[in-house]
């Protein structure tokens, strides 16, 4: 039996099979569960399981029990599980990212370092964890934000005295990799590749329709995978604006209308009641998106277009809107985002916009010269 520096006594609660059972709870040589008793003026005020068989962990938990004004003991695994339950209102992709960063990365790291409770997480431990991840600066900044949110959740519940992730500075001047819009020739290569992938006509027709959807609507891959037939009507596609919650309709070319009309009913769907173009509706949202991503990866690989991915179509659309005289608000409405996000991610300077601005300035300068000539003539 061990007495801690305050008033707790740590002892083992021997099981029926323990060979040291007859020696009493003072015998600590076995691997039986550890408990703690607390005494004040000779009277027991606490008897609690420390929920471990390891003496080092038991001492850590006893220290927390002896500090009523300090953080409440909470195992790192239990804290992460509680946080993930609290995030169930978020979309599936966000929840998956949190599970990966916390449950699949942070928790195993803590276990390997002997960090048992949330209160044991320090800036040094977080620095070591992040250094071992070897992530790109942008991804590392996003993961740091997840750590801050998780530890703020723990701090609010008194599982940790403060949030060490708040004191870690986010990398400054992170410049994302430049995204180059697709050219017409690259899109043609993708359409040619769509006719060559897969084993059946079903896969090829589906791939062609997906590529044309991305090209002419700049939808996110998730919206493409879950596109409902009701959103296409009278040569128009219904889009939802992010900022106002309103809806707008955009015309779609005949080529895309024909491609969507040619897409067979998804496998497993009722031909008379099928609501979607590319999924039967029976699978989960994540599965439907994964199927679409796998289809497009095959197209991009077959096409030979360098660095091809679905999100580049959004940059392509934004660039074309701005090149043709559209505003950042127009980009935001078409892409379904706010103006600030549009300006942050899609205000890329390109040669087309440069040529348009040069032409505009030349017109202004020409008009100024004409005005001066008229003024001189008038003065004579």
- The pLDDT, as a whole number, for residue 4 is 47
- The pLDDT, as a whole number, for residue 348 is 63
- The pLDDT, as a whole number, for residue 129 is 94
Distance from C-alpha of 241 to C-alpha of 287, rounded to nearest angstrom? 25
Adjacency order of strands within the sheet including 8-12: 2-3, 8-12, 34-40, 43-49
Class of domain 76-167: mainly alpha
- For the domain covering 184-348, report its CATH number: 1.10.443.10
pLDDT digits (tens, 9 = 90+) for 125-159: 999 999 998 888 888 889 999 999 999 999 999 88
- The pLDDT, as a whole number, for residue 109 is 95
Cα-only R_g, the chain = 31
- The pLDDT, as a whole number, for residue 5 is 44
Under-70 pLDDT residues of the chain: 1-7, 40-43, 66-70, 173-177, 240-246, 347-358, 360, 367-380
C-alpha triplet 138, 175, 146: angle, nearest 5°: 20
For the chain, the domains span 2-65, 76-167, 184-348, 351-380
- Backbone torsions φ then ψ of 108, nearest 5 degrees: -60, -35
Q: Where are the alpha helices (DSSP H) in the chain?
A: 55-65, 76-86, 92-98, 107-112, 123-133, 137-156, 184-194, 201-217, 221-225, 254-262, 285-303, 312-323, 328-335, 339-346, 351-379
- The pLDDT, as a whole number, for residue 10 is 85
């Amino acid at each position: 039996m061990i007495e801690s520096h305050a008033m707790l006594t740590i002892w083992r609660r021997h099981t029926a099979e323990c060979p040291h059972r007859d020696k009493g709870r003072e015998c600590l040589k076995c691997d039986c569960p550890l408990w703690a008793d607390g005494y004040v003026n000779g009277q027991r005020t606490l008897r609690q399981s420390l929920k471990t068989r390891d003496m080092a962990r038991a001492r850590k938990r006893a220290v927390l029990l002896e500090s009523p004004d300090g953080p409440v003991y909470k195992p790192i695994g239990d804290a992460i599980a509680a946080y993930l339950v609290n995030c169930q209102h978020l979309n599936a992709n966000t929840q998956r990212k949190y599970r990966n960063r916390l449950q699949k990365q942070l928790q195993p790291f803590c276990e390997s370092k002997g960090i048992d409770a949330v209160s044991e997480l320090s800036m040094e431990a977080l620095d070591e964890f992040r250094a071992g991840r070897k992530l790109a600066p942008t991804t590392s900044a996003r993961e740091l934000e997840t750590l801050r949110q998780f530890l703020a959740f723990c701090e609010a519940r008194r599982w940790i005295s403060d949030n060490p992730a708040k004191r870690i500075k986010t990398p400054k001047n992170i410049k994302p990799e430049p995204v180059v819009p697709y050219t017409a020739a690259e899109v043609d290569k993708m359409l040619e590749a769509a006719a060559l992938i897969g084993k059946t006509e079903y896969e090829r027709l589906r791939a062609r329709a997906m590529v044309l959807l991305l090209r002419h609507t700049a939808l996110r891959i998730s919206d493409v995978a879950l596109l409902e037939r009701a959103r296409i009507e009278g040569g128009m596609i219904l889009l939802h604006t992010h900022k106002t919650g309103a809806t707008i309709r955009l015309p779609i070319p005949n080529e895309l209308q024909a491609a969507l009309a040619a897409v067979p009913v998804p496998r497993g769907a009722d031909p008379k009641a099928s609501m979607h173009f590319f999924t039967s509706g029976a699978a989960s949202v994540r599965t439907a998106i994964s199927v679409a991503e796998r289809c497009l990866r095959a197209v991009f690989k077959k096409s030979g277009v360098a660095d091809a991915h679905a999100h580049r179509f959004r940059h392509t659309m934004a660039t074309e809107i701005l090149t043709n005289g559209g505003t950042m608000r127009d980009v935001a409405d078409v892409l379904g985002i706010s103006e600030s996000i549009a300006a942050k991610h899609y205000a890329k300077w390109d040669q087309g916009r440069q040529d348009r601005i040069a032409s505009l300035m030349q017109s202004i300068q020409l008009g100024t010269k004409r005005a001066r000539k008229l003024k001189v003539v008038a003065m004579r």
